Amino acid sequence: SSQALMSALPNYEQSAAADNIQTFHGREVRKVKDAAGGMGFALHLSLANGDDLEGWTKQEIAGYDGWKHDVSRQWRTGDMLQEEGFTSFKDKFGPDAFT
């Protein structure tokens, strides 16, 4: 079923937990080179079970704060994500992209 807010999901909790069925890991990537729509944004979905080379890094999972307002969130640069293990981030999204 579709929910307007994550918090409306049954058993919702503010955590990085995902089951790849009802909830999943995703990134809102900003300043993406060649993003469709011309706004520079892309949604990047990944598996949450550790079997995805482009999945969330251990640091992203440990510090997940996606329920916070943008001004108080931890933003990750391409350099940060590559150092944390998403080694192809800048190749995929461009040198200025961040999450």
Query: pLDDT tens across 63-96, in order?
Result: 888 778 888 888 999 999 999 999 999 999 999 9
Q: Which residues are paired to 26 by β-bridges?
A: 45
Longest dimension (CA), the chain: 39
Q: Tell me what pLDDT residue 57 has.
A: 93
- Residue extents of the structural domains in the chain: 6-93
Q: Check: CB of residue 72 under 8 Å from CB of residue 65.
A: yes
pLDDT band, very low/low/confident/very high, at 7 (cuts 50, 70, 90): confident
Within 1-99, strands assigned E span 25-29, 42-46
Q: Can you tell me the distance from the alpha carbon of 20 to that of 4, in angstroms, rounded to the nearest whole number?
A: 19
Q: Tell me what pLDDT residue 1 has.
A: 52
